[in-house]
Chains A and B, each alone.
Chain A
Amino acid sequence: MSEPIITFERVNKWFGAYHALRDVDLTVGRGERIVVCGPSGSGKSTLIRCINRLEEHEAGRLVVDGVELTDDVKAVERIRREVGMVFQQFNLFPHLTVLENVTLAPTQVLRLPLAEAESRAREQLARVHIADQAAKYPGQLSGGQQQRVAIARALCMKPRIMLFDEPTSALDPEMVKEVLDAMLELAGAGMTMVVVTHEMGFARSVADRVVFMDQGRILEDRPPADFFSRPEHERARDFLAKVLPR
């Protein structure tokens, strides 16, 4: 495996009295594609949201791209430039056009001149096959189109890691494929990806490892072939029985 780019060491997180992450140990190497799956409430979203500090972990150590995540605001902002995130609810900015959505961060954070940011933006929009919608507003696009814009928006910052928090769960079935295709293309280009999803077909074809979580613990962390054919834990077997089509 290549050098680690994300390291979780005995990471714990509580929401009030609820123990959401329990002694999580996980290492992600550069260029690896990890799929995180598990039943609802198992802590999958909390796990990846800790990586760009949208959630603050308590107890344990979390190192991303050589920087340890602590209360240090400057370090966190540096990390967020290197880590891109795609949300289940897209979270596009409705008051800006598609092009402005994508160029916002490069101009404000990376301080790129507008012309360069725009050409970068159009390049990324073309990559997800949505360049012709650049002058439209998010409210005018379908769910699948919005999610692809969200992917382009994250990519425009040229991140080293891409996080996906259930990117297709809020989409109508006929739009799921266009988003998965965009993610496949990304994987093929060698991006480090951590994906929380229920799309097991994607896991089987793209993932290097599948991480199964339940009740805040990582129960399985194996290549997809092993995970799907010979799951070790009963909870994993139950989950697969419910999720995989017959």
Chain B
Amino acid sequence: MAARQIRSGFDFLRQPAGFDIGEGPVPYGPRDSYLWAFAAGLANTLRVSALGVVLATLLGTVVGVGRLSRNALVRWGCTAYVEVLRNLPLVLLLFGCYLAATELLPEATEPVTLPGGGYLSKGGLQLPHPTWSPGWGAALAGLSLGLAAAWGLSRWARARRAGTGHAPAVRWPGLALALLGPLLGWLAGGAPTALTRPEMGPFGVSGGLSLTPEFLALLGGLTLSAGAAIAEIVRSGLLAVSHGQLEAAQALGLSRRQATRLVLLPQALRLIVPPLTSQFLNLTKNSSLAVAIGYPDVVSIANTAINQNGQALECILVIMAVYLCINLVTAAGMNLYDRRTALVER
């Protein structure tokens, strides 16, 4: 490699990167270092992956349950969605979504106005968002306290169950605690309600929470694709619970709805969560396709960096390390969940 006169080593990370990043929650300018550029890329990766995971799980659960619906039309519609999306490459879907966002939406100077004060156009989606103030910080603190209290409550319930065989119902009180915490914090911080709204200008919309068409296209493609896979996971989890369980529940006189809620779902959840987690990891890995449509995730940044300074090996090692860390963290979390919810056997 010395013969080809390319520098090696990770010193370049401290040098100014010299390129701009189009979007993201991390403030970044061309004079910031490569390391900071990678951090900005990572923030973008996590941003689209986290939102994608939430949306895909919602979509996948609805469609998965819909495939088992008694109504034939609902069943067919959900099956069609799953079959089509599982057999299309994600790259094709992404390009299609991106072209649709940049060609079919109205021009940036004449956007569609959404109820609530948002705008949708080729320039992306602009939404009003609450202006940051100490009241919201207090709300966040309240949320952590509420979650901690809910967790403590569940620990107490488990201990009672181990002792007497019966667990007190703590699901609703726990949820109430988790919601009460941020509410109290928000009130204590002065109940801030100020919103930052996007403004319509001569060249388009500015201000507010801005989501670029690249972000929207990537999110849309990831959600649709992962939603289909999650639908299959949910469906097989529900079907995998032994039929005898439902029969026993019904023989005891429970209605179909009660049997589903109390017997089928708890057991199905245990079967669904492990493959669901690997689907989340897949979605995160698939977000790397952002490089194809120009969304500045960590792989895109690495690509730009390689083109600029030629230090391919180091940049690739950086992104590999990023993804492996995400993997490790998720695997550890999964193991923890597994151990806590495993069915007790001798």
Interface residues of A (CB under 8 A from B): 52, 54, 77, 80-81, 83-85, 87, 89, 91-95, 97-100, 103-105, 108-109, 114, 118, 134-137, 139-140, 150, 153-154, 157
Contacts and interface: CB of A to CB of B under 8 A. Distances in A.
Size bracket of the B interface:
20 to 34
Closest 9 CB pairs of A and B: A99-B165, A139-B345, A91-B248, A135-B165, A105-B252, A137-B344, A85-B251, A134-B165, A81-B253
Nearest to A139: B345
A104 B253 contact: no
Contacts of B242: 89, 91
A54 to B, nearest CB: 6
Contacts of A83: 251
Contacts of A97: 161, 165-167
A196 to B, nearest CB: 14
A108 B258 contact: yes
Given A137-B345, A154-B251, 16 more contacts: A54-B250, A54-B251, A80-B250, A91-B248, A94-B343, A103-B166, A104-B252, A104-B262, A105-B253, A105-B254, A108-B258, A108-B262, A140-B344, A140-B346, A154-B252, A157-B252
B247 A114 contact: no
- Name B's interface SS: helix
B72 to A, nearest CB: 19
A234 to B, nearest CB: 35
Interface stretch (B37-45, B149-157, B263-271): B263-271
Contact of A157 (B167, B253, B263): B253
B9 interface: no
Contacts of A93: 245, 248-249, 263, 267
Contact of B270 (A87, A95, A139): A95
B192 to A, nearest CB: 43
B164 interface: yes
B339 to A, nearest CB: 15
